[in-house]
Amino acid sequence: MTFAHFTPRTFRSLALLPLAAAGLAACATVPAAPTQTARATLLTASGQQVGTATIRATGAGLEVTVSASGLTPGRKGVHVHTTGSCTPTFAAAGGHWNPGAATHGLMGGPGQHAGDMPNLEVGANGSGSLTYTLDSAATFAGLMDADGSAFVIHAGEDDQSTDPSGNSGDRLACGVFQPA
């Protein structure tokens, strides 16, 4: 096609091409990065639901939010445990999640287990909540590895220093993390 074949209408159409391209570019959406979130439903040995634990990857690390009800009042040790299993007993969840091979407790020796957290304060009404960002050794990929991870509420207060468990007593409730 030669220049002689262009009509005034062709020139108007060509003049609009950059505007059309800019409009299409403005409408294009970039897919959002998938949110890395996992949730555990916390059940007692009898199967009663007593709460949830949600882990969300943030710029600061893995943020855990725990919400519980139906518990006896007092301070309860809470931890991310190394294995995503609560059956046949809560012992199946293994020990505290510890990919950095650290010692236990927020007041223990250097570092802490990645799954160590402050105690959950349960009020007179049997409810409590806690939000905490885990130690930097905690990664979402590690949390959701081949054998998964679980969240456990213990019967007693974690002393935050005794290795390996903080003397927090029996396991009252457990839940396996699932992608949310």
- The yes-or-no verdict on residue 24 having pLDDT over 80 is no
Section 20-26 average pLDDT = 48
- The yes-or-no verdict on residue 68 having pLDDT over 90 is yes
User: What is the per-residue pLDDT for 102?
Assistant: 81
The DSSP H or E segment spanning 25 is helix 8-27
**Strand 78-81 to 150-154 pairing:** antiparallel
User: What is the per-residue pLDDT for 112?
Assistant: 83
Q: Which of 2-11, 99-108, 154-163 has the highest mean pLDDT?
A: 154-163
CA-based angle 62:63:67, to the nearest 5? Answer: 140
Structure tokens at 51: 């709460």
CB-based contacts of 57, cutoff 8 Å, min separation 6: 35, 36, 37, 63, 140
- The yes-or-no verdict on residue 86 having pLDDT over 60 is yes
Strands (E) located in 61-119: 61-68, 74-76, 78-81
The conformation of residue 4, written as its DSSP 8-state character, comes to G
The amino acid at residue 40 is A
Nearest Cα residue to 68 out of 53, 48, 88, 47? 53
Q: Which of 15-19, 22-26, 43-47 has the highest mean pLDDT?
A: 43-47
φ, ψ of residue 21 in degrees (nearest 5): -65, -40
Report residue 169's pLDDT band, with 50, 70 and 90 as the boundaries.
very high
Answer for the pair 170, 154: CB distance below 8 angstroms, yes or no. yes
CB-based contacts of 1, cutoff 8 Å, min separation 6: none
* CA dist., res. 76 & res. 158, Å (int): 7
Report residue 4's pLDDT band, with 50, 70 and 90 as the boundaries.
low
CATH number of 37-179: 2.60.40.200
90-135 per-position pLDDT tens digit: 999 999 998 888 888 788 666 788 888 999 999 999 999 999 999 8
Chain centre distance of CA 157 = 22
- The yes-or-no verdict on residue 17 having pLDDT over 50 is no
